[in-house]
Structure 1
Amino acid sequence: MDNPYQAPAAPVLDLPGSASKNFKLFKISGIALATFLGSPIAGGILLAKNFSRLGKPRQAKMALIYSSLAAFVLLAIAFLIPDRWHVPNYPFLLVQLLTMQQVAKNYQEADIREHEAQAGAMASNWLAAGIGLLTFLALMLAIFAVIVAATALGWAGTPD
């Protein structure tokens, strides 16, 4: 015998703008944290992930390109400043951190807020920290490899 109180079986429609969001976005704070721990490259990776998940592949590619370019420019400036100038390190950190945070706010804050309002899941800031630390490790390994190669080829080292 059928249950008269049972709800009828009907397909569930996924309407545009509905609350079902099956992807996670990184918060602005996660992007800033990754940038703090792993350079603008790490922040750019998270920006690119958000753009990709939002269906904006062109912006994702540009985020990676511009954040990598910014990191290498900052790194080059840091290496070119003579030691006798005694420039502290924190201005470089502040510039990259505040710039990446502002870029994330300008380009993704509205999408992130809309995603949250529609009950969309947010990626963990611990994951953002892990991506930042892994990016830092990769950068240090790359810099070490360049220094070792330059020394082995005689381009750097102690003068004779």
Structure 2
Amino acid sequence: MTDPRFDVPAFPDAPVASGAATAPSARLFSMAGVGWASFLGSPLAGGILLAANARRLGNRALAQRQILATALVTLVSVLLYAATELPETAAVPHALVHVVVIAGLAGTIVYARHAQGAAVAAHRIAGGALYSNWRAAGIGLLTLLGVWLSIASALVALGVAGVLNFDNDLRLVRDYPPPAELRLPAGWRVANRPQDPGDATYRIRRFRYGLMSAGIEFVIGDKSDDTLSSFCEGMLDAVKEGGSEIEWSHAASGTVAGRPARMCEHKGALGDGIVHQASVLTSGNTKTCALVYTAREENYARYLPEFAQVRDSLRCP
């Protein structure tokens, strides 16, 4: 039988000896780990680690705010990079985007040290365990994969909805019908192929990162000398009948592949934007061929040299 006298400490106010202080049971990510995750996987990856630390430290509300804030920084970075690549918004300077993105990454790391640096240091001093930086880096890479998969899913959804076009294959179009020849620079492709190649209109579109930036209508039909002399006037009348207000227009004569050609250019209002068109008409032995280049004002000059390549490659049969 146990003597009850030995169940009472000799010093009532002294704690029972346990051999060592009890270490915190929860593991945390170090600030270096948060930095590696952010660098490899976007600010969102750093936010995921910060949120995990906050939950283990008992602050779930802070964890949610950190996830939302870093997700927003990542989204802004993605949108800024997209803005530099899309022709319609390419006015955003690349240097400015890099500065903003780097600032967002650096801000995430600085905020992490400010918000949790002291708590993680105290946890470590108390004997608490930390996850390895390799684990943090792996989470960063997995987060980056998730971000890219999300972007890809969004692009596929837009493609299915018809907003984007993902047929980026370069096509060298030579027969419209034989032996007509037309060569397309990279980024241009045929959007339709009519059943009757002898007298038809082919729509050729300029795509960049899935978005249409400009277009060319290639029209081929039976030879008509009258069409060559009245081509530009007919184009102008068609635009006016369509309700587009013409700001300026001019025509000139030239040659394409050594054959006489009529060229005209005009600018007008279409809906809420300004549209530029450059057109050329030439005849071969049996056919008359026309190219009509159309683009909004912000894209017209960008793709005009490429249209010139298409025009110079035209061989009308």
Q: Distance in 2 between matches of 1:67 and 1:27?
A: 18
Normalized against structure 1, the TM-score is what? 0.81
1:72-110 alpha-carbon deviations (Å, 9 max, x no partner): 122222212344666157535522321111111110011
Q: Which residue of the partner structure matches residue 145 of structure 1?
A: 153
Q: Distance in 2 between matches of 1:87 and 1:99?
A: 20
Ranges of 4+ aligned residues in structure 1 off by more than 4 Å: 82-86
Q: Distance in 1 between matches of 2:136 and 2:90?
A: 33
Match 2:124 to one of 113, 116, 129: 116
**CA contact 1:39–1:96 (8 Å) conserved in 2:** no
Match 2:83 to one of 68, 80, 84: 80
Match 1:71 to one of 57, 60, 74: 74
Matched, 1:43 2:51: no
Q: Which residue of the partner structure matches residue 102 of structure 1?
A: 110
Q: Distance in 2 between matches of 1:77 and 1:34?
A: 21
More strand by share: 2
Letter of the aligned partner of 1:46 in structure 2? L
1:25-53 alpha-carbon deviations (Å, 9 max, x no partner): 11111101111111111100000000011
**CA contact 2:40–2:140 (8 Å) conserved in 1:** yes
Matched, 1:91 2:86: no
RCO higher in 1 or 2 (8 Å CA, sep ≥ 6)? Answer: 1
**CA contact 1:27–1:123 (8 Å) conserved in 2:** yes
Measured on the aligned residues, the alpha-carbon RMSD in Å equals 2.3
Normalized against structure 2, the TM-score is what? 0.43
Letter of the aligned partner of 2:81 in structure 1? A
More helix by share: 1
Q: Which residue of the partner structure matches residue 5 of structure 1?
A: none
**CA contact 2:83–2:90 (8 Å) conserved in 1:** no
Q: Distance in 2 between matches of 1:51 and 1:37?
A: 21
Q: Which residue of the partner structure matches residue 144 of structure 2?
A: 136
**CA contact 1:35–1:43 (8 Å) conserved in 2:** yes
Identity over aligned pairs, percent? 32
Q: Which residue of the partner structure matches residue 24 of structure 1?
A: 27
User: 1:25 is paired with a residue of what secondary structure?
Assistant: coil
Q: Which residue of the partner structure matches residue 60 of structure 1?
A: 63
Instruction: Give the CA deviation at 1:125.
Output: 0.6
User: 2:39 is paired with a residue of what secondary structure?
Assistant: helix
**CA contact 1:19–1:120 (8 Å) conserved in 2:** no
Larger Rg: 2
Could you say if the C-alpha distance between residues 93 and 117 of structure 1 is closer, same or farther in structure 2, counting changes exceeding 3 Å?
A: same
Q: Which residue of the partner structure matches residue 162 of structure 2?
A: 154
Q: Which runs of 5+ in 2 are unaligned?
A: 1-15, 166-206, 216-317
1:112-151 alpha-carbon deviations (Å, 9 max, x no partner): 1101111111111111011101111111111111111212
User: 1:24 is paired with a residue of what secondary structure?
Assistant: coil
Letter of the aligned partner of 2:151 in structure 1? I
Q: Distance in 2 between matches of 1:112 and 1:98?
A: 19
